[in-house]
Amino acid sequence: MNAFFVSSVAALVAASAASAGFTGFSADRVVLSNGNIQYKVFANFDNVGLPAGQSWVFLNAYSHTTVSGTMNAVHQDFFTADGEVGTWQAGSSVSAADRDFDSWVTASGLATSSGWGTALDPGFNNGGTVLDINNGAGWYDATPGTANTVTAGRMLIMQIVRTAANDSVYTANLSITYKVSNTSVPIQLGAFQYTIPAPGAVALAGLAGLTGRRRR
């Protein structure tokens, strides 16, 4: 069903020739209390092409495709608790205590059980129980009745947690669709690459390592 949704969106995009709004991805890097590395990946937006008084509304992410490296995501959710390899779902699949330590995707900017509102598309083979997001996978707003409004110029779309030993450079392509609030068209398309750690973050991580060494 969603494959149809995506292809319909692609056709609309080709017709509407998106002008602006989505400017690319960025990733915030945090060292967790257990030593793992957490990346929050955001889709960033400017106001170009946005009518006064309206907001951008995120619709879906699709065609996640590895360019280089390995994601090696760590999962700490109810699936790993059962001895399975984990899930990219959040919401009720992850306890509040584990949410920061787990890897997941979101279309709502949230991973909470009440605000997740996200569905994995069929590109997530085996329910997304993989350590790297499948090539071609995507996720979408499963609760279109509640708009997934972009606030403060960005929308959280995924959290990737890795061990420090696996924190090597990883790059992927990802496409998204979004629209103007209170309208159904035009649906707009954006496709960009993201890298973790971001080039700047690599430098910062190096500095942090030096500081740590000095403290010892």
Q: How far is the CB of 215 from Ca ion (least distance, A)?
A: 33
204-213: b (≥16 Cβ within 10 Å) or e: ebeeeeeeee
Indicate the residue whose CB is closest to Ca ion: 143
Q: Rule CB under 5 A: say whether 138 interacts with Ca ion.
A: no
Q: Binder to Ca ion among 141, 159, 170, 174 (CB under 5 A)?
A: 141
Q: Which is nearer to Ca ion, 6 or 158 (CB)?
A: 158
Q: Exposed, middle or buried: residue 98 (CB in 10 Å: 0-12, 13-18, 19+)?
A: middle
Q: Rule CB under 5 A: say whether 143 interacts with Ca ion.
A: yes
Contact in structure between 162 and 71 (CB atoms under 8 Å): yes
- The Cα–Cα gap between 69 and 115 comes to 32
Q: How far is the CB of 80 from Ca ion (least distance, A)?
A: 7
Length of the chain: 216
Q: Is 114 helix (H, G, I), strand (E, B) or coil?
A: coil
Q: Binder to Ca ion among 21, 109, 117, 197 (CB under 5 A)?
A: 117
Q: Which of these segments, 82-90, 129-137, 164-172, 208-216, binds Ca ion (CB under 5 A)?
A: 82-90
Q: Which is nearer to Ca ion, 30 or 203 (CB)?
A: 30
- Applying CB under 5 A, the residues found at the interface with Ca ion are 75, 77, 86, 102-104, 117, 141, 143, 146, 148
